[in-house]
Amino acid sequence: MMTTARSGFTLVQAALALLIAAFLLAFLVVPVIMVIYVAFANPDGELTLSHFASFFQISLMRESFWNSLIVATLSVVFASLIALPLAYFTARFEFRGALLIQTLGILPLIMPPFVGAVAMQLIFGRSGSLNLLLGDWFDINLPIMQGLNGVIFVEALHYFPFILMNLTVALNNIDSSMEESAQNLGASGMRLFRRIVFPLAMPGYVAGAALVFIKVFDDLGTPLVLNVTNMLAPQAYLRITSVGIEDPIGYVISVLMIGFSLLALWASALVLKGRDYATLQRGYSGLARRRLKPWQSVIAYGWIILVLLLVLSPHLGILLLSFGKVWSFSVLPDSFTLEHYMTVAQDSPRMVWNTMLYCGLAATLDVILGTAIAYLILRTRLPLRQSLDFMASAALAIPGVVLAIGYLRTFKGVQLPFMDEMLTSSWILIMLAYTVRRLPYALRSCVAALQQMHVSLEEAAENLGASKRRTIYRIVVPLMAGGILAGFVTSFMTAAVELSATIMLTTSQTDAPMSYGIYLYMQSAAGRGPGAALGVLAVVIVALGTYFSHRLIRSRAAGQQARPLQKIEV
Amino acid sequence: MDAMQKVKVEIRNVSLAYGATPVLRDISVSIAPGEFFALLGPSGSGKSTLLRLIAGFNQAQSGTIIIGGEDITRVPPWQRNIGMVFQNYALWPHMTVNGNVAFGLVERRLPREVIREKVAAALELVGLRDYGERRPGQLSGGQQQRVALARTIAIEPKVLLLDEPLSNLDAKLRVHMRTELLALQRKLGITTIFVTHDQEEALSISDRVAVLDGGVIQQIGTPMELYDHPANRFIANFVGTINLLKGKVGPAGTGVAFDSHALGRITLPQTKAAAGDAEIAIRPHALTLLASGDNTDAGQVWVEGTVAEREFLGEFVRYTVRVGDTDLIADQPHYSGHPIHVPGNRVKVGINPAQVRLLTA
Ligand SMILES: Nc1ncnc2c1ncn2[C@@H]1O[C@H](COP(=O)(O)OP(=O)(O)O)[C@@H](O)[C@H]1O
Ligand SMILES: [Mg+2]
């Protein structure tokens, strides 16, 4: 193969990099810059802050701004309150509840929050099951689902696993000698936790908390389903869909949303700076685990069961709703039926197929891009190769609504080649939005897979006469297969329940994926039953995906042990 | 920092098992006030377990630990006031050096002014006066260890425990640090227990050594006692290099004689020994090598052999001499002009009966 000897990369590699860069520019960078540009430009194309000024002059916008901030912050606070004790129990004590907690960490994630939100309203709403019971017994009514409360409640319950998982990993990575040396010097109990254990786990906590903040901030589906429109994401959606794609307020909101995402990422990077404490030493154990004392067991299990009930309630609620004939002003549905599933079977095969198609294509594109980028940044000396990584990862900070607005604006009037259709009204944009939004996850998965693979395995193949291309085909891709598959499944699963970009980019019933269908059904009281049935279907698909990705990741880990050579570090 | 109180450490009949696996079996040691005491043993012999037991991180199934006359067997680690320096130093990365050293003093709720003085004094003592504002990650391995030491002695513990304190340092620094450690211990006068798997380290700096194997104390003594009078085969092998020979003992006149295939009969200076199968140990430098034609001294037992290998080690030359079907290691002092035996040469090996140790097990 032709190599430009001094610079150390081949023309094929350079061409590949340019192709990827072009894709990312077209479907991520340019649309986002377009959004920012429109927010700061007046009709003559001059720079101005007047749109921001008019934004803050509208009282509904000011209110939405503060509401979004409050909801995101309080969701983080409540998610932390749920996750902190759970993480502490698993890391610090030896007890069987650990498995329950792991289950707790996955359960919420397999159902998108906007699906659960309806069920939560039926269970925790003003005239939901809980308040009906409380009203009968104690004559009180808890405003759990009223307005912003409902959004915070649903989001905190949905996203606390991000904090739980990050914090658990961080706690498990603390060397037991860190804690023992503090005990040796006289610290114990809460002081020990406050002065040593928590500060050392801080990086993990902050990473999780930042993620929750960003996710909540850009969630469009949950507030819409709960009928809360005085927040930023719903306002952006409503302005663009009602006033039109030219309305500058939608762009101002977009810029604010990007700003807050970046702020959260920046703040977490600031806290993490120089504090990536990998304190675990080879051959040492994590924090010593103690047996629970009886009263501690009661507290631990009490908390776990309470959280488990809360976490399961949307799942149970959706299940009941999907089988329930009528469910309002009663603790449980009055009678049960399969009717809703029949409706879904008649109405929605097209939506299920669309979801499969869009998500399948998006996930395929993701792992191709992910593998290629991973290879370029880890195995070549291409100049500026890190910028590919940077661009692809930047998608993390771009809310779905913003990306969708960027697409609609950038590709306005673009005709699809050979077809009598506009790009903005075709499903291709939905698929591309999924691809771009899930790329960071797929990329991390591919990079991790390639990093674990020692370069000597490739050198051996080249030494035996395989060209670069043949080596990639015969050695690199097969060895990365586990990571690539895991990346595929993650992309597929999370894209299947995406709603923010989906709502904005879906223009016709025939092109709508399942997530849009659920949302549409949930808009009307009569549609709740079928919506729930479709939701159950989506949960089953996502749950199966989660199960298989775990299987894959586990078998990949097992496969790695059978190949000890890969572990040799130079 | 002033000299500290000197306390006695007594470990009485301590046994510990992890599940069904016994790790410490009926350990009893008494460590004198101000002593520099080493726990020596191969990896996995239970040294760390014993040290952690003293610090309170492990609980024994039976036995007592008495420190300064006080039974502390049931006292939690944070109330023991026994300083421990961890093998990996365990410096907290989220605190500065000052923060690390001040930690225990803060826990003791001392006034801020006192803490500042004590931190400065402890850092001064380990030669890191100007490093207080740094983070542990910005220090070299040797400096990190000094901080760990300063952090521990700042609380003025009753006893100082060191778990393989030198094992993470490079060879040169290790030798330097061990003399520094000893100097510091002498200055403070604090009773110190030091764990190591390196016999040279243990012999060179400690007042007394307990050798541990398989959770059992094999021998306790001064370094010289261990070296000159190993109690059993394990000690003989573990402490220094040694020649071991199997044979039979029996009475011979007023003393005892050791008969072996390789060396024939050696009359030992002992007066009593149980007759039967036995084993003797001889240090390599207690053997004399002479060319086969040289005159021999009648005070020693002489056997003939062939030089099989030769290793030049600077101060001495280490020969492996084949005598019959047995290999003997003989170290001969070296200085320029000293006769050298070439592999293949026939030589005479002289054994001084006074240097032969009859092993009990
Ligand atoms: N927490 C534990 N659980 C089970 N076995 C242990 C534990 N800690 C140590 N052991 C075992 O006890 C023995 C002694 O360990 P240790 O005291 O660390 O040895 P040393 O410090 O002498 O190398 C080893 O066989 C080790 O495997
Ligand atoms: Mg040890």
CB A372 within 8 A of CB A13: no
> Which residues of chain A make contact with B93, given a CB cutoff of 8 A?
200, 275, 277, 279
Q: Which of residues 158-187 of B touch A (CB under 8 A)?
A: none
Q: What is the pLDDT of residue B359?
A: 82
Alpha carbon B342 to its chain's center: 35
Nearest CB among A186, A199, A274 relative to B107 is that of A186
Say yes or no for a CB contact (<8 Å) between A281 and B88: yes
SS3 (DSSP) at B257: strand
**Nearest CA of chain B to the CA of A263: how many Å?**
23
Are both B273 and B317 inside the same structural domain? yes
pTM of the model: 0.74
- Cα B55 to ligand 2 centre (Å): 14
The number of the ligand nearest the C-alpha atom of B167 reads 2
Residue B116 pLDDT level (bands cut at 50, 70, 90): very high
CA A360-A363-A369 angle, to 5 degrees, is 140
Measured between alpha carbons, how far is B103 from A223 in angstroms, rounded to an integer? 48
SS3 (DSSP) at A72: helix
Say yes or no for a CB contact (<8 Å) between A199 and B92: yes
Q: What is the pLDDT of residue A397?
A: 85
Nearest CB among A183, A279, A288 relative to B93 is that of A279
Closest chain A residue to B55 measured between Cα atoms?
A184
Match 């670069």 to its residue by tokens.
Answer: A468
Six-digit token pair at B197? 């798997």
Are both B105 and B174 inside the same structural domain? yes
Say yes or no for a CB contact (<8 Å) between B78 and A279: no
Q: What is the pLDDT of residue A556?
A: 56
> Which residues of chain A make contact with B152, given a CB cutoff of 8 A?
184-185
Which residue's CA lies nearest to atom 27 of ligand 1?
B44
Closest CA to B283 of B354, B209, B360, B344: B354
> Which residues of chain A make contact with B76, given a CB cutoff of 8 A?
183, 188
Convert the pLDDT of each residue in B59-88 to its tens digit.
889 999 999 999 999 888 888 899 999 888
Please give the residue that has the higher pLDDT: either A150 or A481: A150
Are both B206 and B105 inside the same structural domain? yes
What amino acid is encoded at A64 in this protein?
A: S
Say yes or no for a CB contact (<8 Å) between B94 and A182: no
Question: Which ranges in A273-348 belong to alpha helices (H)?
Answer: 294-323, 339-347
Average pLDDT over residues B30-40: 95
Are both B20 and B87 inside the same structural domain? yes
Please give the residue that has the higher pLDDT: either A109 or A329: A109
Q: Is residue B187 part of a domain?
A: yes
Closest chain B residue to A282 measured between Cα atoms?
B88
Q: What is the pLDDT of residue A215?
A: 87
> Which residues of chain A make contact with B82, given a CB cutoff of 8 A?
184
Convert the pLDDT of each residue in A33-61 to its tens digit.
988 888 888 777 777 777 777 877 888 88
Say yes or no for a CB contact (<8 Å) between B93 and A184: no
Q: How far is CA A307 from CA A115, A122, A295, B93, B212, in A?
A: 19, 18, 18, 33, 50
Q: What is the pLDDT of residue A554?
A: 64
Ligand 1 probe mutation, B49, B51, B217, most atoms within 8 A of CB: B49
Measured between alpha carbons, how far is B45 from B199 in angstroms, rounded to an integer? 14
Measured between alpha carbons, how far is B152 from B156 in angstroms, rounded to an integer? 8
Q: Is residue B1 part of a domain?
A: no
Domain boundary among B176, B208, B237: B237
Are both B155 and B47 inside the same structural domain? yes
**Which of B76-80, B234-238, B335-339, B352-356 is least confident?**
B335-339
Domain boundary among B237, B269, B297: B237
Measured between alpha carbons, how far is B160 from B122 in angstroms, rounded to an integer? 14
Are both B219 and B287 inside the same structural domain? no
Average pLDDT, chain A: 80
Q: What is the pLDDT of residue B49?
A: 92
Contacts of A142 (CB under 8 A, 6+ apart): A124, A130, A131, A134
CA B204-B210-B215 angle, to 5 degrees, is 135
Convert the pLDDT of each residue in A194-231 to its tens digit.
898 888 888 888 888 988 998 898 888 889 888 888 88
Are both B55 and B182 inside the same structural domain? yes
Q: Is residue B259 part of a domain?
A: yes
Q: Is residue B2 part of a domain?
A: no
Q: Is residue B4 part of a domain?
A: no
Average pLDDT over residues B247-254: 82
The distance in angstroms from the start CA to the end CA of chain A is: 27
CB A76 within 8 A of CB A212: yes
Alpha carbon B117 to its chain's center: 36
CA B250-B254-B255 angle, to 5 degrees, is 45
**Which of A322-331, A350-359, A494-503, B223-232 is least confident?**
A322-331
Q: Is the predicted pLDDT of residue A260 greater than 60, yes or no?
A: yes
Q: Is the predicted pLDDT of residue B16 greater than 90, yes or no?
A: yes
Measured between alpha carbons, how far is A451 from A354 in angstroms, rounded to an integer? 35
Q: What is the pLDDT of residue A331?
A: 67
Measured between alpha carbons, how far is A83 from A205 in angstroms, rounded to an integer? 10
Nearest CB among A182, A279, A281 relative to B103 is that of A182
Q: Is residue B199 part of a domain?
A: yes
Average pLDDT, chain B: 89
Looking at the DSSP bridge assignments, the partners of residue B264 are B260
Measured between alpha carbons, how far is A330 from B127 in angstroms, rounded to an integer? 76
Match 């421990």 to its residue by tokens.
Answer: B84
Q: What is the pLDDT of residue A462?
A: 67
Sheet holding B70-71, edge to edge: B21-31, B9-18, B62-67, B70-71
Q: What is the pLDDT of residue A552?
A: 65
Q: Is residue B209 part of a domain?
A: yes
Average pLDDT over residues A386-390: 87
Measured between alpha carbons, how far is B47 from B44 in angstroms, rounded to an integer? 8
Closest CA to A485 of A559, A400, A537, A391: A559
Convert the pLDDT of each residue in A290-328 to its tens digit.
677 788 778 878 888 888 888 888 888 888 888 877 666
Closest CA to A123 of A317, A287, A269: A317
* Chain A contacts to B (CB-CB under 8 A): 175, 177-178, 180-188, 191, 195-196, 199-200, 202, 274-275, 277, 279, 281, 284, 288
Average pLDDT over residues B205-219: 94
Are both B172 and B276 inside the same structural domain? no
Atom of ligand 1 nearest to the CA of B50: 17
Pocket of ligand 1 (CB under 6 A): B 18, 23, 41, 43-49
Measured between alpha carbons, how far is B283 from B293 in angstroms, rounded to an integer? 25
> Which residues of chain B make contact with A177, given a CB cutoff of 8 A?
86-88, 90
**Nearest CA of chain A to the CA of B104: how many Å?**
5
> Which residues of chain A make contact with B79, given a CB cutoff of 8 A?
186
Q: Give the ipTM of the model, two decimals please.
A: 0.76
Measured between alpha carbons, how far is B349 from B259 in angstroms, rounded to an integer? 17
Q: Is the predicted pLDDT of residue A457 greater than 90, yes or no?
A: no
Helix axes B141-154, B171-188, angle to 10 degrees: 20
Six-digit token pair at A230? 């005085």
Looking at the DSSP bridge assignments, the partners of residue B257 are B250, B267
Closest chain A residue to B76 measured between Cα atoms?
A183
Please give the residue that has the higher pLDDT: either A437 or A558: A437
SS3 (DSSP) at A267: helix
Q: What is the pLDDT of residue B254?
A: 75
Average pLDDT over residues A516-520: 86
Domain encompassing residue B318:
243-359
B135 to chain A, any CB pair closer than 8 A? The answer is: yes
Are both B126 and B229 inside the same structural domain? yes
What's the domain count of chain B? 2
Q: What is the pLDDT of residue A355?
A: 86
- Cα A569 to ligand 1 centre (Å): 27
Six-digit token pair at A11? 């023309």
SS3 (DSSP) at B33: coil
CATH code: domain of residue B277 = 2.40.50.100
Atom of ligand 1 nearest to the CA of B52: 17
Residue A69 pLDDT level (bands cut at 50, 70, 90): very high
Are both B218 and B341 inside the same structural domain? no
Sheet holding B216-221, edge to edge: B82-85, B159-163, B191-196, B36-40, B208-213, B216-221
Are both B340 and B213 inside the same structural domain? no
Q: Is the predicted pLDDT of residue B28 greater than 80, yes or no?
A: yes
What amino acid is encoded at A411 in this protein?
A: F
Convert the pLDDT of each residue in A339-381 to its tens digit.
778 777 777 788 888 888 898 899 999 999 998 998 888 888 8
Are both B265 and B230 inside the same structural domain? no
Domain boundary among B208, B237, B266: B237
Residue A568 pLDDT level (bands cut at 50, 70, 90): very low
Ligand 1 probe mutation, B16, B48, B88, most atoms within 8 A of CB: B48
Please give the residue that has the higher pLDDT: either B4 or A539: A539
Contacts of B26 (CB under 8 A, 6+ apart): B13, B14, B15, B63, B216
CATH code: domain of residue B175 = 3.40.50.300
Burial B104-134 (b: 16+ CB within 10 A, else e): bbbbbebeeeebeebbebbbebbebeebbee
Which residue's CA lies nearest to atom 1 of ligand 1?
B18
Burial A450-480 (b: 16+ CB within 10 A, else e): bebbbeeebeebeeeebebeebbeebbeebb
Residue A550 pLDDT level (bands cut at 50, 70, 90): low
